[in-house]
């Protein structure tokens, strides 16, 4: 029987593994597309392995863009990219009830865009553990 401290430790470990993996390997997409690059598919497969080894955790895949372009288009692109990642996780055995995909568009930048509205760091996918 798992104690609450085991659960807390497991939660902490999952977050550390995901953070380390994503720090070293940003998930990227083909240009002007929601298709995940070959390199990033390998990263997502590793994330699926972590999730499959820890089946109690639920995950939000959050898509983000820079501020270039129309808000509505950025929202749709970020949603499509988050869904692409979710679909790969599901295809690798992660229960679809544990995965949600949300496109936030340009709502939550982590860096200032340049004068053209471009910031590569803002074009990202994040994984948010929603709990057990």
Q: Can you give the pTM of this predicted structure? A: 0.85
pLDDT digits 0-9 by tens, 71-87:
999 999 999 999 999 99
In the chain, DSSP assigns E strands to 58-64, 99-103, 124-131
> What digits encode the pLDDT tens for the residues 87-96?
999 999 999 9
Spell out, as residue ranges, where the chain has pLDDT lower than 70: 1-9, 117-118, 132
- Amino acid 115: pLDDT: 75
Neighbours of 19 (CB within 10 A): 11
């Amino acid at each position: 029987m798992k104690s609450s401290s085991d659960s807390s430790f497991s939660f902490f470990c999952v977050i550390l593994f995901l953070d380390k993996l994503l720090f070293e390997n940003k998930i990227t997409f083909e240009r002007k597309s929601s298709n995940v690059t070959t390199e990033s598919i390998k990263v997502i497969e590793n994330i699926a392995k972590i999730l499959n080894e820890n089946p109690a955790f639920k995950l939000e895949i959050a898509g983000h863009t820079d501020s270039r372009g129309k808000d509505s288009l950025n929202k749709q692109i970020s949603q499509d990219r988050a869904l692409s990642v979710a679909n790969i996780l599901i295809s690798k055995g992660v229960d679809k009830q544990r995965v949600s995909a949300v496109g936030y568009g340009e709502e939550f930048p982590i860096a200032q865009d340049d004068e053209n509205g471009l910031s590569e760091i803002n074009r990202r996918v994040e994984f948010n553990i929603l709990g057990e």
